[in-house]
Chain A
Amino acid sequence: MKPFKQNEFGKRVAADFFLSGTGSSMYIVYFLSASIAGFKLNSAILLAGPALILAGLVLLFSELGKPSNFWRSVANYRTSWMARGAIFNFFYVAAGFGILLAESLRSYSFLPWIDATGFVIALLVLVYPGMLLRAVKDIPAWNSASTLAVTLIFALSGGGAAVILASAFIQPQALPEELVAVMVLNAFLIISGELYLKALRSLGSKKEGADLSYKEMQKKGGVRTLMFLDMISLVLYIIAFFSAGALQYVIAFAGSMLTLYTVYLFRVRLLEAGYHQPLITKKFIDSLKNKA
């Protein structure tokens, strides 16, 4: 019997993961930029982050069969990454608005603490979709560490692109520095994408489900295409870096839209390629019939 694939998590769940990942990594970029580079991005990002998360939650809510039980979703945090994710998301939204409030009140004294807490929560939100997929033991492509890693990298890239998008409108003077950061992120993205496919392929030689996942992600419109689109987006970023004024905004905008699109699509492809291990194998049948 061939490996079977999951059919329940589709585009809406992919979109929720995408929004969640982008929203949280926007904050991570903001925080790292402030604490490491000493460069303060516009605090409108602090609004955008939680807003995206919220949008993701609304999407998730609409996907539920019985949304009236949504409030129960935090009950099984002990073992369920979906329950944990729900908790992290709620806290993030709360923290996001808390930080925004603090910023507007300009209470610098406790700001570092809140910022740091927000960073930790953002990290948890960033990580939870990958962990949720990883927890599915029987889908080898999701269960691997490399999948977790590559989803994180894609999310960060998406966050960077989202920051570019925001900045193109509200903080264009920050663009050149940001462009450097996202160029690095994108390059990293493309490399990790290739490495991921290689890792999946070798996993595929051991686990049949992963083999089908690999084939699915490899085919037309699959991960390779996304890598190609990311290369175009990298080129756009480079061009933007060397441009100025309105042209710079427009090209940077285009590049980041493309990146965001590939990040979303990657989530979709990953979910579509969720192949379980085959239910009934020749090995099972032979052992049952007591053949060697």
Chain B
Amino acid sequence: MMHYAMVINLGKCVGCNACTAACKIDNATGFGVKYGRVVEVETGKFPDVEKLYVPLLCMHCEDPECLKVCPTKATFKTEDGVVLIDRDKCMGCRYCVVACPFMARFFYEDSKRPQGLPRMDKEDERLGTVEKCDLCIDRVKEGQNPVCVDTCPYQARIFGDADDPESEVHKLIQSGRAKTLKEEEGFGASVYYIWW
């Protein structure tokens, strides 16, 4: 059984956002829609400050909240653990956007776009429905990596089959060093984080 997972090294991530740009270009997303993005997290008090950059994306949970709340069954999960949205079924109620614990779902609103910023091609295709990271499923099916993984200049992201004992992600997850966000809640994220 395949189960796709990603491990992101927060020691290496410098918050450059090359991944965010690549994801936006590849998916032609509208303003405000960032399937993958990077947040800054700061703790401490000057001058003893710690700062981290954390890339976020859809966690492709094993027990997805979005799937449970979706009234139309537009949100579904493939056999290899990828959570997807069937645009043809989605009615744009955004219950899933509300329910997602990881801010991973987006509903484009043109009013948010700054004045004067043009809309590029292909933005219209998803109007009215919810959208999110699909783990670049088309690429992954061809044996390639998601765009963010191949873009990172610091090679901070590792992707593979968590069920394959030979894969790097499997080993990192087994090592116990890799943690998911909101682990205690049991959503079962497939995106892990490690430190160096």
Touch between chains A and B, by CB atoms below 8 Å: yes
A residues within 8 Å of B by Cβ? 1, 4, 6, 8-9, 60, 63-70, 72-76, 79-83, 86, 132, 135-139, 274, 276-277, 279-280, 282, 284-285, 287-290
Q: Check: B39 CB closer than 8 A to any chain A CB.
A: yes
Task: Please name 30 pairs of A and B residues whose Cβ atoms are closer than 8 Å in the assembled complex, sorted by A.
Answer: A4-B103, A8-B94, A8-B107, A66-B128, A69-B89, A69-B90, A69-B91, A69-B92, A73-B71, A74-B71, A75-B73, A76-B70, A80-B68, A132-B95, A135-B69, A137-B65, A137-B101, A137-B185, A138-B65, A138-B101, A277-B182, A279-B181, A280-B54, A284-B179, A284-B183, A285-B41, A285-B50, A285-B52, A288-B10, A288-B194
Number of B residues near A (Cβ < 8 Å) is: 46
Report Cα–Cα, A76/B194, bound state, in Å: 36
**A284 surroundings in chain B (CB, below 8 A):** 179, 181, 183
With both chains docked as a complex, state the minimum distance between the C-beta of A253 and any C-beta of chain B, in angstroms.
35
Report Cα–Cα, A288/B72, bound state, in Å: 38
Enumerate B113-141 residues with CB–CB distance to A below 8 Å.
Answer: 127-130
**Main SS of the interface on chain A?**
loop
- A76, A274, A277, A290: the one contacting B72 at CB < 8 Å is A76
With both chains docked as a complex, state the minimum distance between the C-beta of A214 and any C-beta of chain B, in angstroms.
19
Report Cα–Cα, A9/B69, bound state, in Å: 14
With both chains docked as a complex, state the minimum distance between the C-beta of A291 and any C-beta of chain B, in angstroms.
10
The 8 closest A-B pairs by CB, nearest first: A65-B92, A65-B128, A69-B91, A138-B101, A83-B71, A72-B72, A8-B94, A66-B128
Report Cα–Cα, A80/B54, bound state, in Å: 31
Report Cα–Cα, A4/B127, bound state, in Å: 25
**B98 surroundings in chain A (CB, below 8 A):** 6, 8-9, 136, 139, 274
Enumerate B34-66 residues with CB–CB distance to A below 8 Å.
Answer: 39, 41, 43, 50, 52, 54, 56, 65
Q: Is the CB of A6 within 8 A of B71?
A: no
* B165-185 interface code vs A (CB 8 A; 1 in, 0 out): 000000000000101011101
Q: Check: B99 CB closer than 8 A to any chain A CB.
A: yes
With both chains docked as a complex, state the minimum distance between the C-beta of B2 and any C-beta of chain A, in angstroms.
25
Q: Is the CB of A65 within 8 A of B127?
A: yes
Report Cα–Cα, A67/B129, bound state, in Å: 10
Q: Is the CB of B93 within 8 A of A82?
A: yes
Q: Check: B97 CB closer than 8 A to any chain A CB.
A: yes
With both chains docked as a complex, state the minimum distance between the C-beta of B3 and any C-beta of chain A, in angstroms.
22
Given A73-B93, A279-B182, A288-B10, verify A136-B71 contact (CB < 8 Å): no
Q: Is the CB of B103 within 8 A of A279?
A: yes
Report Cα–Cα, A72/B72, bound state, in Å: 5
**B88 surroundings in chain A (CB, below 8 A):** 69
**B73 surroundings in chain A (CB, below 8 A):** 72, 75-76
Q: Is the CB of B179 within 8 A of A66?
A: no
Report Cα–Cα, A288/B183, bound state, in Å: 12
Q: Is the CB of A135 within 8 A of B68?
A: yes
Q: Is the CB of B195 within 8 A of A288?
A: yes
Report Cα–Cα, A113/B151, bound state, in Å: 66
Q: Is the CB of B56 within 8 A of A279?
A: yes
B98 nearest CB neighbor, chain A only:
A6
Report Cα–Cα, A205/B88, bound state, in Å: 43
With a 10 A CB-CB cut-off, give which of B92, B93, B193 has the most chain A CB atoms: B93
